[in-house]
Structure 1
Amino acid sequence: MNALDHDAPANPTPPTQTTTVTHDWEGDCSLAVTIVTGIARLADVDPEDVPQIYDQVDPDSLDSLFEPTRRTGDRSDGHLWIPVDDYGVTVHGDGTVVVRSLNHT
């Protein structure tokens, strides 16, 4: 293909750099599993092929950050950003998990 090829798209679509998944705080799945699911979706791989995040993040501590407190109840208005390998993960208290590629290639 060359610059004179009229069948080529003028602006090819860039690869997806962000994906969003929702964590169910009442479900059986840990927040770490939801994060792995989001990374797998963005990387277009099976979740089993995502490197273990447990070396970077303690899953129990991660879950406890958003647990309800006795004094104020739920913590649905907070958020947390963590780097996981080549991804930036933002976890919102409402269960929204946004995964962004940190690779700028």
Structure 2
Amino acid sequence: MTKDDSYLHTNRSRPDPTGNQVSVCHNWQEDESPALGVVNAIAAATDTAPERLQPLYESVDPDALNMLFESVSGLDRHPSQLSVSFRHEGCDVVVQSNGKLYIWLEVGEHDE
């Protein structure tokens, strides 16, 4: 797997039983920053190449997001205490300090 196609290896679920929502679970701690993890997970959820997505800075400051999670990584805290939520590319995004991030997308919301 190259860095360019890592978004393809995120756990993408099928739509929920109603067919209305797709969800993605991604671990950003393995080899990337939280901001890059968000981009890769949204790419997987929307079935879009990462470079075709709107820049993340249109929704959240990527540097601030990365620094926020870097600042708690060395602290003596339960790893899931910090959570940041926002919307980007029509997706609800939740990033957690335990390395997990979750993406929810309403089916049809990201149609071009």
TM-score norm. by structure 1 comes to: 0.70
Larger radius of gyration: 1
Partner residue in 1 for 2:27: 22
Percent of aligned pairs with the same amino acid: 24
Separation in 1, partners of 2:90, 2:68? 23
Change (3 A) 1:48 1:95: same
Alpha-carbon RMSD across the aligned residues, in angstroms, is: 2.8
Partner residue in 2 for 1:93: 97
Gaps of 5+ in 1: 1-11
Q: SS of 2:57's equivalent? A: coil
Partner residue in 2 for 1:6: none
TM-score norm. by structure 2 comes to: 0.66
Say yes or no: does 1:76 pair with 2:72: no
Separation in 2, partners of 1:64, 1:75? 18
Shift of 1:14: 2.5
Q: Which runs of 4+ in 1 moved over 4 A?
A: 102-105
Gaps of 5+ in 2: 1-16
Tell me which protein shows more helix as a share of its residues.
2
Equivalent residue pairs, number: 91
